[in-house]
């Protein structure tokens, strides 16, 4: 049994298999998930686990080269938008429609219990060298 970090075996496997530029999505509980993309459903109830909790854990375990968010986050969820700007140097903003289209190419989508607007992010894998 692992004694540190993420204990969820599905997430651990996805992280171990990532290559440069592969993507993982952290999604709120309302984001549509394409049928062919691996869904790791962590949602227990509204708000649990939160988007921020899951993001913090993945940041500790994954090399993140850049992130993609919906441009609507700036207006509809300004606190989260501000936090994303504080935490990430390379942020791509796209329309929510384009964001949903990009999720079709994700390695996996991790569904949280988050219930605030546009609390979704695409994490683009970097390399450790």
Task: Name the residue ranges covered by the structural domains of the chain.
Answer: 9-125
Three-state secondary structure readout of the chain: CCCCCCCCHHHHHHHHHCCCCCEEEEECCCCCCCCCCEEEECCCECCECCHHHHHHHHHHHCCEEEEEEECCHHHHCHHHHHHHHHHCCCEEEECHHHHHHHHHHCCEEEECCCCCCCCCEEEEECCCC
What's the average model confidence in pLDDT over 98-121? Answer: 98
Instruction: Tell me the fold of 9-125.
Output: RbsD-like fold (3.40.1650)
27 is in an annotated binding site: no
Could you report the per-residue pLDDT of 19-51, keeping only the tens digit for each?
Answer: 999 999 999 999 999 999 999 999 999 999 999
What's the pLDDT at 3?
85
120 known ligand binder: yes
- To the question of whether residue 8 is assigned a binding role by annotation, the answer is no
Average pLDDT, the chain: 97
Mean pLDDT of 55-80: 97
Q: State the pLDDT confidence band at 2, using cuts at 50, 70 and 90.
A: confident
Which residues are CB-neighbours of 128 under 8 A, at least 6 positions away?
A: 63
Q: Which residues are catalytic?
A: 20
Q: Which one, of 13, 122, 4, 27, lies nearest residue 65 by Cα?
A: 122
* 41 annotated binding-site participant: no
What pLDDT is attached to residue 30?
Answer: 97
Higher pLDDT, 9 or 4: 9
């Amino acid at each position: 049994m692992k004694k540190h970090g993420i204990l969820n075996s599905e997430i651990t496997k996805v992280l171990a298999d990532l290559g440069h530029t592969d993507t993982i999505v952290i999604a709120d509980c309302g984001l549509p998930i394409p049928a062919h993309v691996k869904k790791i459903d962590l949602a227990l109830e509204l708000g649990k686990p939160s988007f921020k909790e899951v993001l913090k854990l993945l940041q500790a375990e994954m090399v993140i080269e850049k992130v993609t968010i919906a441009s609507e986050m700036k207006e509809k969820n300004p606190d989260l938008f501000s936090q994303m700007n504080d935490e990430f140097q390379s942020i791509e903003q796209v329309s929510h429609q384009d964001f949903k289209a990009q999720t079709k190419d994700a390695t996996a989508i991790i569904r949280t219990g988050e219930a605030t607007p546009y609390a979704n992010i695409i994490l683009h894998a970097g390399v450790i060298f």
